[in-house]
Amino acid sequence: MEAVAFWKESLEKYPAERIERAFKEHLRTSEFFPKPSQIIELLQEYAYDDGPTLVEKVRAQLKS
């Protein structure tokens, strides 16, 4: 259970859609389960290579 709590805490600030994308990308390019730092690295790259996801856009509209 500590591992689950660690993963949740490490990734809580990122949208689920991007986390899923990072896991899929990692699994496509590696045969080993990722470390949190590897997923976070991918998530940080996504922040620079694309704009907000559709879910993020909808959430922003709902907040306004």
Q: What is the pLDDT of residues 18-40, one digit of tens each?
A: 899 899 999 999 989 999 999 99
What are the distances in angstroms from CA 26 to CA 42, 44, 56? 8, 14, 22
Positive or negative torsion for Cα 43, 4, 29, 32: positive
Question: For the whole model, what pTM was predicted?
Answer: 0.66
pLDDT for 18 equals 87
Domains of the chain: total: 1
Structural domain span for residue 37: 2-63
> What pLDDT is recorded for position 50?
59
Q: Report yes or no: 26 and 34 within 8 Å, Cβ to Cβ.
A: yes
CB count in 10 Å sphere of residue 5 = 9
pLDDT at 1 over 80: no
Closest CA to 34 of 17, 14, 10: 10
- Choose between 48 and 2: higher pLDDT: 2
